[in-house]
Amino acid sequence: MTPAETPPAVPTDRWLAVTREDGETVGYLEPVTEDYGEVVPRNRLGHAVGGVLGFHEAEELVLDRGLRELAEPWLLDGSDEPLTIIELSPSGIVLSNAFASKALILTDRYTVGWPDTGGRLRRAS
Last residue in a domain, options 50, 68, 86: 68
- Considering the domain architecture, whether residues 85 and 108 belong to the same structural domain is answered as yes
Q: What span, in angstroms and rounded, lies between the C-alpha atoms of 25 and 108?
A: 28
Question: Mind giving me the DSSP string for 11-47?
Answer: -GGGPEEEE-TTS-EEEEEEESSTTSSEEEEEETT--
**Are 55 and 8 within one domain?**
yes
pLDDT of residue 125: 78
| Number of domains within the chain | 2
Residue 73 and residue 19: Cα distance in Å, rounded? 23
Question: Average pLDDT in the 24-28 region?
Answer: 96
Contact 15, 28 (CB under 8 A): yes
Sign of the alpha-carbon dihedral angle for 89, 92, 97, 100? negative
pLDDT computed for residue 33 by the predictor: 95
**Confidence (pLDDT) at 106:** 73
> Do 84 and 28 belong to one domain?
no
* Residues 106-124: tens digit of each pLDDT: 778 999 999 999 999 999 9
Last-in-domain residue among 48, 68, 88: 68
Question: Both 7 and 64 in a single domain?
Answer: yes
| Residue numbers of the domain that contains 77 | 69-123
If one compares 7 and 101, the residue with the highest pLDDT of the two is 101
DSSP letter, residue 115: S
Residues 62 and 10 in one domain: yes
